[in-house]
A and B are shown apart, each in its own frame.
Chain A
Amino acid sequence: MKRIATCFVVLGLTASAAMAEVAPGSIQFEEGAVAQSLTGTSGNPAEGRTIMTTKSVGNCVSCHAATDYADVPFAGEVGPLLDGAGSRWDEAQLRGLVVNPKMTFEGTVMPAFYKVDGFNRPGDAFTGKAAPADLPPLLSAQQVEDVVAYLMTLKDE
Chain B
Amino acid sequence: MNIKNTLTTKLCTAAVLTAFAVAAPAFADEDAELVINGEIEIVTKTTAPAHLEGHLTEIMSGWRFRSDDTQAMEMDDFDNPGMLGAEEGLAQFDTVMGSEGKACADCHDGVESLASVRPTYPKWNDAKEAVYTIQMQINDCLTERMGAEAEKYDSKKMLNFEAVLASVARGTPMNVAIDGPAQSTWEQGKEMYYTRFGQLDLSCANCHEQNYGNMIRADHLSQGQTNGFPVYRIKDNKLTGAHSRFKGCIRDTRAETFAPGSPEFVALELYVASRGNGLSVEGPSVRN
Give the dominant DSSP class at B's interface. loop
Query: Is A131's CB under 8 angstroms from B256's CB?
Result: yes
Query: Is A122's CB under 8 angstroms from B214's CB?
Result: no
A122/B198 contact (C-beta < 8 A), A109-B210, A128-B247 known: yes
- CB neighbours (8 Å) of B198 from chain A are 119-123
Closest residue of B by beta carbon distance from A73: B218
Question: Is B252 an interface residue when CB atoms closer than 8 A count as contact?
Answer: yes
Query: Is A111's CB under 8 angstroms from B217's CB?
Result: no
Question: Is B47 an interface residue when CB atoms closer than 8 A count as contact?
Answer: no
Question: Is B79 an interface residue when CB atoms closer than 8 A count as contact?
Answer: no
Question: Is A62 an interface residue when CB atoms closer than 8 A count as contact?
Answer: yes
Question: Is A9 an interface residue when CB atoms closer than 8 A count as contact?
Answer: no
Instruction: Type the 1/0 row for B221-247, where 1 means its CB is closer than 8 Å to any CB of A.
Output: 100000000000000000000000001
Instruction: Type the 1/0 row for B249-263, where 1 means its CB is closer than 8 Å to any CB of A.
Output: 011111111000000
A78/B256 contact (C-beta < 8 A), A111-B201, A122-B199 known: no
Q: Name the distance in Å between A131's Cβ and chain B's nearest Cβ.
A: 7
Closest residue of B by beta carbon distance from A119: B199
Closest residue of B by beta carbon distance from A130: B256
* Cβ < 8 Å to B, chain A residues 107-149: 109, 111-112, 119-131, 135, 138
Question: Is B206 an interface residue when CB atoms closer than 8 A count as contact?
Answer: yes
A120/B195 contact (C-beta < 8 A), A76-B216, A109-B202, A111-B200 known: yes
Interface residues on B, range: 20 to 34
Question: Is B211 an interface residue when CB atoms closer than 8 A count as contact?
Answer: yes
Give the dominant DSSP class at A's interface. loop
Question: Is B197 an interface residue when CB atoms closer than 8 A count as contact?
Answer: yes
CA distance A55 to B217 in the complex (A): 10
Query: Is A128's CB under 8 angstroms from B256's CB?
Result: yes
CA distance A125 to B202 in the complex (A): 14
CA distance A122 to B201 in the complex (A): 9
CA distance A135 to B257 in the complex (A): 16
- CB neighbours (8 Å) of A123 from chain B are 198-199, 251, 253-257
- CB neighbours (8 Å) of A111 from chain B are 199-202
Question: Is A63 an interface residue when CB atoms closer than 8 A count as contact?
Answer: yes
- CB neighbours (8 Å) of A129 from chain B are 256
Query: Is A138's CB under 8 angstroms from B257's CB?
Result: no
Please report A residues at the B interface, Cβ cutoff 8 Å.
Answer: 55, 61-63, 73-78, 109, 111-112, 119-131, 135, 138
Per CB-CB distance, the 4 closest pairs between chain A and chain B, nearest first, are: A128-B251, A74-B218, A128-B257, A77-B214
Please report B residues at the A interface, Cβ cutoff 8 Å.
Answer: 195-202, 206-207, 210-211, 214-218, 221, 247, 250-257
